[in-house]
Amino acid sequence: MNPTGRTRRALVALSAALLLVAVFGAVPAAAAKQPSVVSSTISMSPTPIAATGSLAASTTTNITESSTNAHVGCGFFLSPGCDVYLSFTPASGGGQAWVLNGFGIITYLNSTPTHYVTDNNGHFVIHYVTPAVLPEGGTDTLTAQDAASSPSITVHDTYTFSTSVAHWVFSPSPIAANGSLASGGTVNVTLRSENSGGGPVSYANVLLSIQTIGGGAGGTANTCSPTSL
């Protein structure tokens, strides 16, 4: 006698459950409906989050966490994805890391590893944002691991702040082409402070001076005293 549709569905469900037991051992009752699977590998990209000191204040960068499962992959037909536990430890005055839950609500990461599940491709997106006022130094650390405690896999991704001025950049430079300015002409010049990564340095102290040539060609050079700004 041919099995009915209901019987066929029951047999498929039983076969799937037996496969899960064979691969993972006993399946917890709470997870039996649609169990996620343990991550066998974990990685994050980009790493580091950005070059030291290269991010301006209030800049958001997306980090992709990637997991795989050695037995069935994160896209197993009864699985929503792979398990990953995320945490974030900021520098003093550092940035924040946040994720979107299934309802599109922002959840901020903290130092406690919190369980999340990747998509079927093993990917999970984390959003990192620098603070409105950059700290003088320190490192923000994002951590992904395969368990809440005593993990077998732990991966870190970092961003390091740097507010030491490595060089100053005038713009435009030169102020204007030789001989192109009329008498009394005005040009606005911007001075930018940068760290070794090319990022901006906020609230940097600078001494400015100017040397002028009076009386046209062959005139006398005049230099004003450096002024603190």
Report whether 85 contacts 114 (CB < 8 A): yes
Helix (H, G, I), strand (E, B) or coil at 112: coil
Residue 24 clears pLDDT 50, i.e. is over it? no
Domains and CATH numbers, the chain: 33-160 (2.60.40.2410), 164-229 (no CATH)
DSSP 93-109: T--EEEEE-TTS-EEE-
Residue 84 clears pLDDT 90, i.e. is over it? yes
Scanning the structure block, which residue is given the tokens 């301006």?
56
Neighbour count for residue 160 (Cβ, 10 Å): 19
Per-residue pLDDT band at 65 (split at 50, 70, 90): very high
- Residue with the bigger pLDDT between 24 and 43: it is 43
Question: What is the reported pLDDT for 76?
Answer: 66
Structure tokens at 167: 């060089």
0.85 exceeded by pTM: no
Residue 50 clears pLDDT 90, i.e. is over it? yes
Question: What is the reported pLDDT for 43?
Answer: 97
